[in-house]
Amino acid sequence: MKIRIDHKICTGCKQCEIACSLGHTGSVNPWRSRIRVFVGEEFCLPVIAGPYTEAACNSKGIRIAEGVDVDACVICRASCPAKSVYKEPDTGIPLKCDFCGDPPNPQCVLWCAPNALTLVED
C-alpha cells in the first residue's frame, strides 16, 4: 500500500498534519507530524517523512514543478540535519511515517477532506 498525493487538489489546510500529530502524540502539534504541507502560491505540496539520513545531501538546488521553481529540500522526503521538519521540536529525534500501523490506516488520509491524499495498492 502507498499514499498517493495529488498536489493539484491540496488546499493547504494542514488537517493531515493535525491528524498525524493527534494520532501519534495525543495532542495537536504540526511540528510533531510525519507529514508536512508546503504551501505555495499556485499549488501546495504535502510531503511524507521518509527514512532519516545522517548527513545533508549535496544535491540541493532548484527543481521545476508545474512551471514553478521549487527548492529541492521542499520536495525531498528525507528527514536530515539540514531540515527543520520531521523532527521532534524539543529533542530533535527524527520522525518517520508508519502508515499508522499494520494493516495501514493512515490518519492523514482519513482527515483529508479534498481527497488529495488517498491510500492505494502498490
Other beta carbons less than 10 A from residue 37's beta carbon: 23
Interaction between residue 119 and another protein (CB under 8 A): no
**Grid coordinates 499494520 are at which residue?**
102
Q: Is 34 in the site for another protein (CB under 8 A)?
A: no
Q: How far apart are CA 82 and CA 56, in angstroms?
A: 6
Segment holding 21, helix H or strand E? helix 15-25
Q: 103: cis peptide before it, omega within 30°?
A: yes
Least CB distance to another protein at residue 4 (A): 19
Give Cα 11 to chain centroid, integer Å. Answer: 14
For position 43 contacting another protein by CB under 8 A, the verdict is yes
Q: Rule CB under 8 A: which of 60-79 touch another protein?
A: 71, 73-74
Residue 36 touching another protein (CB under 8 A): yes
Applying CB under 8 A, the residues found at the interface with another protein are 8-9, 11-15, 18-19, 21-23, 25-32, 36, 38-39, 41-44, 71, 73-74, 82-85, 89, 110-111, 113-114
